[in-house]
């Protein structure tokens, strides 16, 4: 399992499928825009599916949320979701989206109907901090593990993945990355600094 030194267990995986978005919301996208990572730097569909499988079958992850950027812009989204839904144990799957591409996506009916009715929510992680009970781990589109949305440190899984490292070693690297998770985001500390990578590159 993914446990840290404070006894928190991460069972909720946030997977950023792309840092691209079809909106330019000022709270998310810097005014100067972003430098998009080169395509070879991004995880392939097979690599995304493999890392999620490792998280679910070897690390106790029970919930997977696909984020971005805008995840509906990922061409292989439907295939990734199907592969995750076939895992045993089957994780709870969800999607963070601006909704603009739902009418073009084969998953639209499933996401909005199965177990419905559809629900919406407001993310209040700043005004109502949940750090003490945080159960999240994050995977960026280029294969970096982040223990916290506001962490400045990342742990690379892409390089060992592409060098042929077996699943057990990948799981071990992920465990070590989460073990060092800090007690909180540090947002209320005078020394706080934003991560070098903006929200679209990290995943919401």
Confidence of residue 126 (pLDDT cuts 50, 70, 90): low
Residue 47 belongs to domain spanning: 12-202
Segment holding 201, helix H or strand E: helix 199-202
Q: Number of structural domains, the chain? A: 1
Considering only the C-alpha atoms of the chain, give the largest distance between any 2 of them, rounded to a whole number of Å: 46
CATH number at residue 85: 3.20.20.70
Could you tell me if residue 123 is inside a domain? yes
End-to-end CA distance of the chain: 23
CA atoms of 56 and 51, how far apart (whole Å): 9
Indicate whether 164 belongs to any domain. Answer: yes
Is residue 100 a part of any domain in this protein? Answer: yes
Report whether pLDDT(122) > 60.
no
**What is the Cβ-side half-sphere exposure of residue 81, based on CA atoms within 13 angstroms?**
20
DSSP string, 67-113: ESS-GGG-TTHHHHHHHHHTSSSPPEEEE---STTGGG-TTHHHHHH
Position 1 in a domain: no
40 pLDDT more than 90: no
Beta strands in 88-174 (DSSP E): 92-95, 136-139, 144-146, 155-156
Model confidence, pTM: 0.82
**pLDDT value for 113:** 47
Using the predicted structure, report yes or no on whether residue 7 has a pLDDT greater than 90: yes
From CA 82, how far away is CA 160, in angstroms rounded?
Answer: 25
- Strand-pair category, 63-67 with 92-95: parallel
Residue 25: inside a domain, yes or no?
A: yes
Q: Are 13 and 64 in contact (CB under 8 A)?
A: yes
């Amino acid at each position: 399992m993914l446990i840290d030194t404070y006894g928190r267990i991460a069972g909720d995986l946030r997977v950023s499928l792309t840092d691209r978005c079809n909106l330019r919301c000022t709270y998310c996208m810097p005014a100067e825009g972003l430098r998009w990572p080169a395509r070879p730097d991004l995880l392939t569909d097979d690599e995304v599916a493999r890392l999620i499988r490792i998280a679910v079958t070897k690390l106790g992850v029970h919930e997977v949320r696909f984020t971005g950027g805008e995840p509906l812009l990922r061409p292989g989204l439907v295939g990734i979701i199907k592969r995750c839904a076939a895992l045993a144990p089957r994780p709870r799957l969800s999607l963070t989206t601006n909704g603009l591409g739902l009418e073009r996506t084969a998953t639209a009916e499933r996401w909005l109907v199965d177990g419905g009715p559809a629900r919406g929510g407001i993310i209040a992680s700043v005004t109502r901090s949940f750090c003490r009970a945080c159960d999240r781990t994050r995977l960026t589109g280029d294969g970096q593990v982040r223990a916290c949305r506001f962490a400045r440190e990342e742990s690379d899984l892409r390089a060992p993945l592409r060098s042929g490292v077996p699943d057990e070693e990948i799981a071990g690297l992920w465990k070590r990355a989460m073990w060092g998770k800090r007690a909180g985001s540090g947002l209320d500390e005078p020394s706080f600094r934003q991560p070098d990578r903006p929200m679209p590159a990290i995943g919401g």
